[in-house]
């Protein structure tokens, strides 16, 4: 065996391993989400409706982030609320 071939092979295996793991995570998510592909726009709309019942919010001020992971995924929803100044301006109208 060539002494140079070992580290070279190890490096190749490493990126192929990364490729396999990325595919496994992604495909697991894609296969399970397959039945309801577009739930996120609906989810966003529904969350906004609920929040609007209690507070004044703008549809533009919603930020949804999703991070798909192996162990767990996270859904982060950020809703920016109007400040006191803007609230005064709207109630004066």
Partner 1 sequence: MSKVIVITSGKGGVGKTTTSAAIGAALAQRGYKTVVIDFDVGLRNLDMIMGCERRVVFDFINVIQGDAKLKQALIKDKRLENLYVLPTSQTRDKDALTQEGVGQVLDELREEFDYIICDSPAGIERGAHLAMYYADEAIVVTNPEVSSVRDSDRVLGLLNSKTLRAESDGREPLKAHLLLTRYDPARVAKGEMLNVDDVLEILAIPLLGIIPESPTVLRASNVGMPVVLDDKSVAGKAYEAAVARLDGEQIAVRIDTEQKAGFLQRLLRKSA
Binding site for partner 1 (CB under 8 A): 4, 12, 15-16, 18-19, 22, 25-26, 30, 34, 37-38, 40-41, 44, 60, 62-69
Provide the sign of the torsion angle of the four alpha carbons 88, 90, 91, 93, taken in this order.
positive
Q: Using the minimum distance from each CB to partner 1, give the nearer residue, 38 or 93.
A: 38
CB 68, min distance to partner 1, A: 4
DSSP 13-50: HHHHHHHHHHHHHHHHHHHHHTTSTTHHHHHHHHHHHH
Number of H-type helices and E-type strands within the chain: 3, 2
> CB atoms < 10 A from the CB of 30, how many?
11
To partner 1, the closest distance from the beta carbon of 93 in angstroms equals: 25
The minimum distance between CB 69 and partner 1, in angstroms, equals 7
Q: How many other β-carbons are positioned within 10 Å of the β-carbon of residue 1?
A: 5
User: Judged by CB, which is closer to partner 1: 58, or 89?
Assistant: 58
Find the shortest distance in angstroms from Cβ 91 to partner 1.
27
Closer residue to partner 1 (CB): 74 or 91: 74
């Amino acid at each position: 065996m060539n002494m140079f071939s070992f580290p070279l092979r190890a490096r190749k295996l490493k990126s192929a391993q990364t490729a396999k793991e990325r595919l496994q995570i992604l495909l697991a998510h894609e296969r399970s989400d397959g039945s309801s592909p577009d739930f996120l726009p609906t989810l966003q709309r529904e969350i906004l409706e609920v929040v609007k019942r209690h507070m004044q919010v703008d549809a533009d001020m919603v930020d949804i982030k999703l991070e798909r992971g192996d162990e767990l995924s996270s859904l982060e929803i950020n809703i920016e609320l109007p400040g006191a100044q803007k609230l005064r301006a709207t109630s004066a109208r």
